[in-house]
Amino acid sequence: MPEVKTRTISYSTAINEALHEEMERDEKVFLMGEDIALSAISPATAGLGDRFGHERVRNTPISELGFTGAAVGAAMAGYRPVLDMRRIDFMMLAIDPIANQAAKLRYMLGGQVSIPLVIRAPEGGGSQNGPTHSQCLEAWFIQVPGLRVIVPSDPADAKGLLKSAIREDNPVLFVEYRALYSLEGPVPEGDYTEPIGKAAVKREGSDITLIGIGSQARNCLEASDLLAREGIDAEVVDPRTINPLDVEGLAGSVRKTGKCVIAEEGHKSGGVGAEIAASVQEAAFGALKAPIIRVAALDVPVPVHTKLEAIVLPSTEKVVSAAKKLLS
Amino acid sequence: MSEDKAPLSEERMQAMYRDMLRIRRFEETAFELFEQGEVMGGIHVSIGQEGCSVGACSTLREDDAILTTHRGHGHSIAKGTRLPEMMAELLGKATGLCHAKGGSMHIADVSKGHYGAHSIVGSNMPMAVGIGLAFHFEGKGQVAVVFFGDGAANEGSFHESLNLASIWKLPVIFFCENNHFASSTRVQYATSVADISARAGGYDIPGVTVDGMDVLAVHEVMVEAVDRARRGLGPSLIEAKTYRYFGHSRKDPQFGPYRTEEEWNEWKAKDPLLVAEEILGVTETQKKAHLDAVEDELQDALAFARQSPEPEPDDVYEDLYA
């Protein structure tokens, strides 16, 4: 394989680069969202309004239902809208156009339309923003056939998967983890994409599989470093997309290690981890030497106070302790 | 004078009348089939509201867009939707417009500018804004017309859509068919204003109420709104007062708990087909010729639908992802 030239950039810069490059590449791509054109409230959209103008980088009123439905309409009419939801919590006002329209229209209309729509949905806690500004809701959307759901955990995946999402002819919920925005990492130069539907091994190991979703892939990597100091060789696998879910990619690692911890920032009940645990045991039950353990947010809203918030949210330490429990 | 504003020729007026007959007879036939158990799923007929669908769609080009509702057969036909494939969809056939996935509530014929019947009340208005935005980008003078009922005018999506279309000056026409009932709930109970068109004022766009039983009156207000939209002057809200003769759906009687037979008869006296015959000057001979032609077309459509195959089990995954 030829050596890939990389440079180190942040997760949010990677998103910003993907948006610049795809808007440059395809004039049908346009952006909509609150406060994206002028003030660059988010580093992910900085500079786009100046570069591409305010027709294509379109500020919206605070009107999530309206502009999300409008994006579905524009997609039906041949455009490739990319929405900025600011926070996934705000997207709850736009569930109908996402779940009832975008995800179903192609199927329901007998293939007469496609909906090439990307919804960028930053999410997550850890910043004392409280119950309605800290949620991780991707699990809700794997219940909606027709909708791709992408959960990138590092700058390279954020860029490569966002570019793939914008080129995809299906509606995509592209989840971004606010806790990762400043995370830096190597990203290949040039026009670079990552495939939708492929898990990635982020660290090879043989003793235990740590499956980390989004922000928790980072915590699993940190946990693997701590475990290594105690002589435990953990493999970290990141599903990267949860619809489609690369069950074989995840089960392959579990077949090797026989033990599995799944970490996610969403709530435990009915979570992505529950779905992955069920799928992995269906595919690799014979290889499992212990029950699969889930590390997730507790089933309570995310409170403001740092002390309480830390109790609710998953962490590197919680992943380490789950792994040790499995290995003891 | 723009093309849209040219006076209606005799030929076009006859075509409008024939379209109203096509809708009336299609829906009467569909309802019979439904009662005989031949229709897959439910249907909501718009009999009584033909003046709205034909009055509105007769002002549109093929490359203009419409979006409609669960009660959308009339708009579909008026916009040029292919009848055999539409009938096949009602009968749950693989040749149906939606391959038997959508049924009556989701009829669409994108090749004719019909971007779908949408069965979640109010959901089609934001989508119309987006199609209007796409037309604005394209700059070819196309317009998007979204049909909805009085009930949908109380959804948040109505208000967000009017605001977005207004601030962006999009070529979208919001066409409210006020048939006086949201299912069984009377418009006067559910709505803060006597005329829904008054809500246009809150969004600084033209709003007009028109007699929806009069196809020419509807046509005329649409001509104004379409002309405005094509010239880049932005959206309009049209409210057509009309009446559905049938119940909301299957289990709902024509009259009874929420309306009287007397009221029903008052509206039937203003039947849009009778009104059209008078104002368009349709003779008995012409009417007979139209009816014969419509009957032939319907029988052909029904034969096509009946002869078509049902979907195969493997089709269950078809068209989920592009």
Tell if the CB–CB gap between A109 and B65 is shorter than 8 Å: no
Residue B285 lies in a domain: yes
Tokens of B120: 């979640």
**What pLDDT is attached to residue A289?**
97
Q: Shortest CB distance from A69 goes to which of B109, B110, B123?
A: B123
CB within 8 Å: B130 and A81: yes
Q: Which helix (H) or strand (E) holds B185?
A: strand B185-186
- The per-residue pLDDT for B1 is 41
Do residues A57 and A48 lie in contact, with contact meaning Cβ atoms separated by under 8 Å?
yes
Indicate which of A93, A104, A108, A118 best probes the interface with B, i.e. most B CBs within 10 Å of its own CB.
A108
**Tens digit of pLDDT for each residue in A46-103?**
999 999 999 999 999 999 999 999 999 999 999 999 999 999 999 999 999 999 999 9
* pLDDT confidence bin for A116, thresholds 50/70/90: very high
Contact A97 B161 (CB under 8 A): no
Which residue in chain B has the smallest CA separation from A100?
B120
Residue A272 one-letter amino acid:
V
Of A90, A185, A93, A200, the closest CA to residue A151 belongs to A200
pLDDT at B7: 82
Find the residue in B nearest to A110 (Cα): B98
pLDDT-above-90 percentage for chain A:
97
Q: How confident is the model at residue A163 (pLDDT cuts 50, 70, 90)?
A: very high
- Specify the DSSP class assigned to residue B113: T
> In sequence order, what are the beta bridge partners of B65?
B144
- Ranges of each domain in chain A: 6-188, 200-327
Task: Judge if pTM exceeds 0.80.
Answer: yes
Closest chain A residue by Cα to residue B116: A109
In a domain, B171, yes or no: yes
- Same topology, domains A6-188 and A200-327? Answer is yes
- Cβ <8 Å between B132 and A73: yes
- At A298, the pLDDT band (50, 70, 90 cuts) reads very high
Q: Flag whether B114 is in a domain.
A: yes
The answer to whether A108 contacts B160, with C-beta atoms less than 8 Å apart, is no
d(CA A171, CA A168): 8
Name the residue among A222, A213, A265 with its Cα closest to residue A243: A213
Tell me how far apart the alpha carbons of residues B275 and A317 are, in angstroms, rounded to a whole number.
77
On the question of pLDDT at A129 being above 70, the answer is: yes
What are the tokens at A39? 């003030």
3-state secondary structure chain A: CCCCCEEEEEHHHHHHHHHHHHHHHCCCEEEEECCCCCCCCCHHHCCHHHHHHHHHEEECCCCHHHHHHHHHHHHHCCCEEEEECCCCCHHHHHHHHHHHHHCCHHHHCCCCCCCCCEEEEEECCCCCCCCCCCCCCHHHHCCCCCCEEECCCCHHHHHHHHHHHHHCCCCEEEEEEHHHCCCEEEEECCCCCCCCCCCEEEECCCCEEEEECCHHHHHHHHHHHHHHHCCCCEEEEECCEEECECHHHHHHHHHHHCCEEEEEEEECCCCHHHHHHHHHHHHHHHHCCCCCEEEEECCCCCCCCHHHHHHHCCCHHHHHHHHHHHHC
Neighbour tally for B192: CB within 10 Å: 9
Task: Give me the residue from B102, B164, B318 closest to A63, CB to CB.
Answer: B164
Test B160 with A65 for CB contact under 8 angstroms: yes
Q: Residue A3: what pLDDT? A: 77
User: In angstroms, what separates the C-alpha of A33 from chain B's closest C-alpha?
Assistant: 12
Contact list, B137 vs chain A (CB under 8 Å) = 30, 55, 79
Provide the CA B204 distance to its chain's centre, in angstroms. 25
Q: Which two tokens stand for residue B240?
A: 């057509």
Task: Specify the pLDDT at position A2.
Answer: 65
Is-contact A284 A228, C-beta < 8 A?
no
Q: In this structure, is residue B19 part of a structural domain?
A: yes
**What Cα–Cα distance (Å) separates residue B181 from each residue in A72, A315, B184, B256, B269?**
29, 54, 6, 13, 19
Copy the structure tokens of residue B255: 């009259």
| Amino acid type, B302 | L
Provide the domain count of chain B. Answer: 1
Question: Which residue in the block uniquely carries the two structure tokens 């475990």?
Answer: A227
Q: How far apart are CA A245 and CA A262, in angstroms?
A: 14
| ipTM surpasses cut 0.90 | yes
Helix (H) or strand (E) holding B316: none
Give the closest of B110, B130, B321 to A113, CB-based: B110
User: Using a CB-CB distance cutoff of 8 angstroms, which residues of chain B are in contact with residue A111?
Assistant: 99, 318-319
Q: In what order do the strands lie in the sheet with B236-241?
A: B114-118, B65-69, B144-149, B172-178, B236-241, B207-211
Contacts of B70 in chain A (CB under 8 A): none
Residue A40: pLDDT band (50, 70, 90) is low
**CATH of the domain spanning A6-188, picked from 3.40.50.1980, 3.40.50.970, 3.20.20.210, 3.30.70.20:** 3.40.50.970
B205: distance to nearest CA of chain A, Å? 17
Question: Minimal Cα distance from A65: which residue of B?
Answer: B157
Length of chain A, in residues = 328
- Taking contacts as CB-CB distances below 8 angstroms, the residues of chain A near B130 are 69-77, 81
Does residue A135 contact residue A302 with C-beta atoms inside 8 Å? yes
Q: Dihedral, CA atoms, B148, B263, B222, B199, nearest 10 degrees?
A: -60
Active site annotation includes A22 = no
CATH code where residue B267 lies: 3.40.50.970
Range of the domain at B206: 3-305
Examine residue B317 and state whether it is found in any structural domain, yes or no.
Answer: no
Q: Taking residues A188-207, what's their average pLDDT?
A: 97
Nearest to A106 among B111, B144, B322 (CB): B322
Under an 8 Å CB criterion, which residues of A touch B? 30, 55, 60-61, 63, 65-79, 81, 96-97, 100-101, 105-114, 116, 145-146, 169-170
Residue B290, classed as helix, strand or coil, is: helix
Q: Give the chain B residue whose CA is nearest to the CA of A61.
A: B164
Has residue A1 got a pLDDT over 90?
no
At B309, the amino acid letter reads P
Please provide the size of chain B in residues: 322
Q: List CB contacts (< 8 A) between B235 and chain A.
A: none
DSSP secondary structure letters along B224-266: HHHHHHHTT---EEEEEE---SS-SSTTS-SSSSS--HHHHHH
| Averaged pLDDT for residues A126-140 | 96
Rounded to an integer, what distance in angstroms lies between the CA atom of residue B168 and that of residue B129? 9
CA dist A19 and A33 (Å) reads: 14
A64, A194, A264, A265: the active-site residue: A64
A73 and B106: CB-CB below 8 Å?
no
Q: Which of A17, A22, A34, A133 is catalytic?
A: A133
Any catalytic annotation for residue A133? yes
Rounded Cα–Cα distance for residues B262 and B201 (Å):
34
DSSP state, residue B8: P
Report if residue B67 sits inside a domain. yes
CA distance A132 to chain B (A): 21
In a domain, B212, yes or no: yes
Distance from A61 to chain B by nearest Cα, in Å? 8
CB contact at 8 A, B151 and B119: no
Residue A109 and residue B116: Cβ atoms within 8 Å? yes
Check whether A30 has a pLDDT greater than 90.
Answer: yes
Q: What's the pLDDT at A155?
A: 98
Taking phi over 0 as left and psi of -120 to 50 as alpha, with beta for the rest, A126 belongs to left
Q: Which of A55, A63, A108 sits opposite B98 (nearest CB)?
A: A108
Q: Which amino acid is at B113?
A: G
Inter-chain contact B127–A72, Cβ cutoff 8 Å?
A: yes
Spell out the CATH class of A200-327.
alpha beta
**B261's tokens:** 């037979």
Residue B208 Cα, gap to closest chain A Cα (Å): 23
Encode chain B (322 residues) as per-residue pLDDT tens digits.
Answer: 455 677 899 999 999 999 999 999 999 999 999 999 999 999 999 999 999 999 999 999 999 999 999 999 999 999 999 999 999 999 999 999 999 999 999 999 999 999 999 999 999 999 999 999 999 999 999 999 999 999 999 999 999 999 999 999 999 999 999 999 999 999 999 999 999 999 999 999 999 999 999 999 999 999 999 999 999 999 999 999 999 998 887 767 777 788 999 999 999 999 999 999 999 889 999 999 999 999 999 999 999 999 999 999 999 999 999 9
Name chain A contacts of B126, Cβ cutoff 8 Å. 65-70, 72-73, 97
**Chain B residues with beta carbon closer than 8 angstroms to that of A116:** 322
User: What is the chain A residue with the closest CA to B101?
Assistant: A108
Coil, strand or helix: which one is B149?
strand
Would you say B73 and B20 are in contact if contact means Cβ atoms under 8 Å apart? no
Task: Count chain A–chain B contacts defined by CB atoms under 8 A.
Answer: 140
Residue B320 within any structural domain of the chain: no
Q: Which of B108, B161, B318 has its CB closest to that of A112? A: B108
How many other β-carbons are positioned within 10 Å of the β-carbon of residue B109? 23
Question: What span, in angstroms and rounded, lies between the C-alpha atoms of A309 and A171?
Answer: 33
Provide CB contacts within 8 A for A274, sequence distance 6+: A139, A268, A294
